[in-house]
């Protein structure tokens, strides 16, 4: 029986369960529009888009659509930095101030690059109060971060740098390479691979963006499910405005506004922790190319990949911002209770509302999922996990 949901793209024989999982998500959740892509051992086996751009189901979601993916962006930034390390421009174990002298103030002179990118620097917000226009100026926000005192002794704990991670990494890339991170990603990752990865979206491409739907993903009956409600209430309690988590996600209340990531000025700004406009195929392609050549391009050497994915988080250490334990390498979120992905060995990054992309090297499995209907989660989206579970079943049967 044909699904009423428009689904287009390619799905190789043996991977049909992924398409079925997409259709099941539309039947049982508030899925509206999405893209899903899977690479297996360097080969694109699933590349599908489904649903609609709008809540009214009048405009089909197509392969041309781009999607803001929130913190899934962090995996792109981590890759850009890992490429700089691979080229000898940066050493994870040297102080950040070696490359960015102004950073070495207020007790930060010994903070290493590894500590900074693994959320151990205590810089989840800034001391200075800035307006939105100043925050969207990456040079201005970098100066504010350099002049901020850490919230704990760097290296002694970790806490999710929800927004600041991206500006810290972006400034470091600029200092060592000379290009801003948006240009670096475009010229060194997106263009060679032939994909859409935009940190700072040119105005000429804004029409391709599927707006984020502020309505939370609902059950098939249009009512928030008990599971979604529990997740939302937990997040609201854990990430209140006066908590470290709330301050990290809102930059102490400075980063706020209705439909912020749908605004043109935000789309064009470089927000390397949360603002990438991309799609599932592009994300999966990037992760696949970390391990094996894709279109003749391999982004990292084997040694660089091993260094970039070396765990930096002590076992069971609670995240000071997210409360529960999280596990980080050099900017990637590793497999843990918080981020299951495809099981042990996986690394990548989820994004608020549901998006996720990762690589599991042991299976040679790279996965990307992007969507426009936001659910009440920071990770572990049930739609994404259903797709990942189907992907793993297909991979293990291949």
**DSSP codes joined into one string, 193-223:** HT--EESS--GGGGGGB-PPB-SPP--TTSS
How far is the C-alpha of 345 from the C-alpha of 360, rounded, in Å?
6
Say whether pLDDT at 397 is over 80.
yes
More confident residue, 47 or 376: 47
How distant, in Å, are the alpha carbons of 28, 160, 186, 202 from that of 198? 31, 23, 7, 8
Contacts 24+ apart (CB under 8 A), 249-256: 249/162, 249/163, 251/125, 251/126, 251/130, 251/135, 251/163, 251/164, 252/125, 252/126, 254/126, 254/129, 254/130, 254/131, 254/132, 254/135, 255/132, 255/135, 255/163
**What pLDDT, on the 0 to 100 scale, is given for residue 49?**
98
pTM score:
0.95
Q: Measured on CA atoms in the order 243, 246, 248, 250, is the torsion positive or negative?
A: negative
Q: Assign a CATH topology to domain 65-77+183-397.
A: Beta-lactamase (3.40.710)
Average predicted confidence (pLDDT) for the chain: 93
Give the least confident one: 62-71, 206-215, 274-283, 385-394.
206-215
Average pLDDT over every residue of 94-101: 98
Residue 294 DSSP class: B
Confidence tier at 224 by pLDDT (50, 70, 90) = low
Confidence tier at 304 by pLDDT (50, 70, 90) = very high
How far is the C-alpha of 23 from the C-alpha of 21, rounded, in Å?
5
**What pLDDT, on the 0 to 100 scale, is given for residue 220?**
41
The H or E element containing residue 168 is helix 164-177
Say whether pLDDT at 178 is over 90.
yes
**What pLDDT, on the 0 to 100 scale, is given for residue 30?**
85
């Amino acid at each position: 029986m044909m699904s009423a949901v428009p689904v287009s793209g390619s799905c190789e024989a043996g991977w049909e369960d992924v398409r079925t999982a997409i259709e099941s998500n539309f039947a049982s959740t508030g899925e509206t529009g999405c893209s899903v892509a899977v690479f297996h051992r360097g080969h694109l086996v699933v590349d599908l888009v489904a649903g609609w751009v709008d809540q009214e189901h009048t405009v089909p979601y197509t392969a041309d659509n781009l999607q803001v993916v929130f913190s899934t962006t962090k995996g792109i930034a981590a890759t850009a930095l890992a490429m700089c390390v691979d080229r000898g421009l940066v050493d994870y174990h040297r102080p950040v101030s070696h490359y960015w002298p102004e950073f070495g103030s207020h007790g930060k002179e010994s903070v290493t690059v590894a500590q900074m990118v693994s959320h151990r620097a205590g810089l989840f917000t800034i001391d200075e109060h800035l307006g939105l226009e100043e925050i969207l100026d990456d040079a201005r926000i970098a100066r504010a971060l350099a002049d901020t005192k850490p919230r704990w002794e760097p290296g002694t704990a970790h806490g999710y740098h929800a927004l600041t991670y991206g500006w810290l990494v972006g400034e470091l890339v600029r200092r060592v390479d000379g290009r801003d991170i948006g240009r670096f990603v475009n010229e060194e990752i997106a263009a060679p691979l032939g994909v859409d990865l935009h940190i700072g979206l040119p105005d000429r491409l804004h029409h391709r963006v599927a707006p984020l739907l502020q309505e939370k993903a609902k059950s098939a009956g249009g009512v928030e499910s008990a599971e979604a409600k529990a997740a939302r209430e937990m997040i609201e309690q854990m990430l209140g405005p006066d908590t470290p988590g709330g301050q990290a996600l809102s930059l102490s209340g400075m980063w706020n506004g209705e439909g912020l990531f749908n605004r043109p000025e935000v789309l064009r700004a470089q927000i390397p922790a949360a603002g990438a406009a991309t799609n599932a195929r592009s994300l999966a392609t990037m992760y696949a190319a970390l391990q094996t050549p894709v279109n003749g391009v391999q982004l990292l050497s084997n040694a660089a990949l091993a260094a970039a994915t070396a765990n930096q988080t002590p076992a069971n250490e609670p995240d000071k911002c997210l409360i529960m334990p999280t596990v980080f390498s050099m900017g990637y979120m590793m497999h843990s209770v918080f981020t299951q992905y495809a099981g042990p060995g996986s690394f990548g990054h989820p994004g608020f509302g549901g998006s996720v992309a990762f690589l599991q090297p042991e299976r040679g499995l790279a996965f990307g999922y992007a969507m426009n209907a936001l659910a009440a989660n920071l990770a572990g989206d049930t739609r994404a996990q259903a797709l990942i579970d189907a992907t793993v079943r297909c991979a293990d049967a291949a």
